[in-house]
Amino acid sequence: MRLRRATMSLALGMALLCAVPATAPAAEPAAGGTAARTVAGPHGRTTAWPVPSGTATSPDGRTLFTDQQGRALRLRGLNLGKTGTVTQEQIAQLAREGFGLVRINIEWGKAEPRRGHYDTGYLRYLDRILGWADRHRVLVLIDWHQDVFGPAFGHNGIPAWATRTDGLPFTPDPDDWFAEYFQPAVQAAFTHLYDDPDLRAAQTAAYAKVATVLRGHPSLLGYDLFNEPFGPVPGDPTDPENQAAASAALERGRLAGMYRRLINAVRSADSHAWLFLEPTVLVGQGVPTSLPGFTDPRHGAARLGYAPHYYDTAVESGADWNPSGRFIENYQAAIGHYPTAHRMPVLVGEWGPPQATTPGNAELIRRQVASMERFTSGWALWYDCRAASGGGYCAYDPDGTPAPGKEPAFAPYAPAVAGIPSTESYAPASRTYTLTLTADRTTRRAWTHLSLPATAYPHGARITVTGAGPRVVVVQDGPGRARLLLPTARPGAAVRVVATASAAAR
């Protein structure tokens, strides 16, 4: 079917929306290497899997993920794996909800429970997760997770055999788990992890081992090298000035040294994966990172990203969010300079309040989603679980619907944009999704992907495109997924894509 209208409207959700014109590519070409794979599309067609293979600078100075076709990529997803065994159904459900990314929380303590002994069952389990993600077209960010160092202190992460406390005391704090980081035994354990040559070597070997097992999976985005890094805080650990000074010293010294070792460890086994660096958690209090720049030893352009977390300390302590505190503005100011200076894409690895049933926290969710459009290339909400009223950070209620107040995280979006993305928004009251972009050389030959999940469009959507010239092609790739090809879009043209609820939903 040839379309000769500058504006068109199509119902999405029932079948293939329109045939591809003979002069347009019938399918997206597969790219070589691990940067892209092909999967079966509707009626036997194939579509290339949008996987970050490079970066581009947006007009506002951000570094965006791009794939081999030059499309700007946007990654959205959930965290999974900390509180239970990951299943294939969880990965499939995540994909059905429109997410294209899962941040899998893994532990050194489980990979190497005894020194020099790797748990082959656990490694096979991680490999299976990546296999499920391959099948369901979900990218995976492997997060080397730790909370309060590890199981020696009742948490997770670093194995007990690698925990050295110098005999210093540790007193659990059930009312404030984060305060346990400041316990003398925990401070000593972090110091030894950074400083002791044998522990450095063991950690390096563990990272290389996991990278060897998981390399080659098309779903493998990369590795978050160390979750919420912490270290010794000389003097009064509750003094904000001491905390800031200790954080800066850690990032410039011990943590920077660890990251250099871990970058080399992964690169010894995998030259394709992206490697993400986290600042300390003080970024959430508006403290800019002091991390230096890093060199990626892989051949070709660096694949290094910046992965801060996005938590409001007051909300974490139980308060309802107060916009007058300027948390979002302060956070954006704190994280902006480092990735811009080092040309690194930003992927927020964790964000979101424990629950969003209160007015302030619901507004926080909405504003965080909007703000991340301005400075990130992707994010992963904490956490994929089900609980009454979204408690305990759960993204879902027990019935599997989005938790109250967390619906903005489930909104439609464009995972891949052929052109220069300008704005993106979703108005839930009218179920109207709007994407604007500026056409460039990729727009005529590459597909723009849309995620239009059933949470927003339970009966499908109608798509309207303006500014793209007389020919527009829309293809459905499955429930809630569509592609646009704009073969007559003039470079520099302002293109507007609008999705609204289909007539069946009205």
**Are residues 103 and 216 located together in one domain of the fold?**
yes
Sign of CA dihedral 419, 425, 426, 427: negative
Within 82-151, strands assigned E span: 101-106, 139-144
pLDDT for 94-137, tens place per residue? 999 999 999 999 999 999 999 999 999 999 999 999 999 999 99
Query: CA-based Rg of the chain, rounded to a whole angstrom?
Result: 23
Residue written as token pair 């400083």: 195
Cβ count near 208 (within 10 Å): 18
Phi and psi torsions of 156, nearest 5°:
-140, 160
Instruction: Assign 3-class secondary structure to 239-296.
Output: CHHHHHHHHHHHHHCHHHHHHHHHHHHHHCCCCCCEEEECCCHHHHHCCCCCCCCCCC
Give the integer Cα–Cα distance in Å for 221 and 143. Answer: 11
Q: Which of 391, 411, 431 is the last residue of a domain?
A: 411
Buried b (16+ CB within 10 A) or exposed e, 3-28: beeeebebbbbeeebbebbeebeebb
Residue written as token pair 């500058």: 6
**Are residues 261 and 302 located together in one domain of the fold?**
yes
Q: What is the pLDDT of residue 66?
A: 97
**Are residues 59 and 173 located together in one domain of the fold?**
no
Buried b (16+ CB within 10 A) or exposed e, 185-195: bbbbbbebbbe
Alpha carbon 18 to chain centroid, angstroms: 32
Q: What is the pLDDT of residue 44?
A: 32
**Are residues 65 and 77 located together in one domain of the fold?**
no
Contact yes or no for 193/262 (Cβ under 8 A): no
Supply the DSSP string of 364-386, one letter for each residue: HHHHHHHHHHHH-SEEEES---B
**Are residues 348 and 490 located together in one domain of the fold?**
no
Give the integer Cα–Cα distance in Å for 43 and 39. Answer: 12
**Are residues 387 and 484 located together in one domain of the fold?**
no
**Are residues 91 and 169 located together in one domain of the fold?**
yes
**Are residues 32 and 144 located together in one domain of the fold?**
no
Domain count, the chain: 2
Number of H helices, E strands in the chain: 10, 22
Cβ count near 87 (within 10 Å): 13
- 183 burial level (CB within 10 Å; 0-12, 13-18, 19+): buried
DSSP label at 431? T
Mean pLDDT across the chain: 90
**Are residues 90 and 119 located together in one domain of the fold?**
yes
**Are residues 217 and 151 located together in one domain of the fold?**
yes
Q: What is the arrangement of strands in the sheet containing 481-485, beginning at the earlier edge strand?
A: 54-57, 63-66, 72-73, 413-417, 448-451, 481-485, 473-478
Q: Which of 378, 411, 444 is the last residue of a domain?
A: 411
Residue written as token pair 């992890």: 193
CA distances from 365 to 98, 311, 362, 369 (A): 18, 11, 5, 6
Q: What is the pLDDT of residue 504?
A: 56
Q: What is the pLDDT of residue 43?
A: 32
Contact yes or no for 460/12 (Cβ under 8 A): yes
Give the integer Cα–Cα distance in Å for 136 and 406. Answer: 24
Give the integer Cα–Cα distance in Å for 247 and 259. Answer: 15
Which residues does the chain have with pLDDT short of 50?
A: 1-46, 505-506
Give the integer Cα–Cα distance in Å for 95 and 101. Answer: 8
**Are residues 101 and 166 located together in one domain of the fold?**
yes
Q: What is the pLDDT of residue 485?
A: 97
Q: Which of 353, 381, 411 is the last residue of a domain?
A: 411
Sign of CA dihedral 400, 401, 406, 412: positive
**Are residues 219 and 126 located together in one domain of the fold?**
yes
Q: What is the pLDDT of residue 174?
A: 92
pLDDT for 444-478, tens place per residue? 999 999 999 999 999 899 999 999 999 999 998 87
CATH number for the domain harbouring residue 373: 3.20.20.80
Give the integer Cα–Cα distance in Å for 154 and 419. Answer: 49
Task: For residue 222, give the amino acid letter.
Answer: G
DSSP label at 72? E
Q: Which two tokens stand for residue 25?
A: 């590519």
Q: Which domain holds residue 60?
A: 1-71+418-506
Residue partners of 505: CB distance under 8 A and separation at least 6: 431, 457, 458, 459, 460
Cβ count near 32 (within 10 Å): 7
Q: What is the pLDDT of residue 48?
A: 60
Give the integer Cα–Cα distance in Å for 216 and 220. Answer: 8
HSE-up (13 A, CA, CB side) for residue 506: 9
Residue written as token pair 């199981």: 151
Q: What is the pLDDT of residue 5?
A: 29
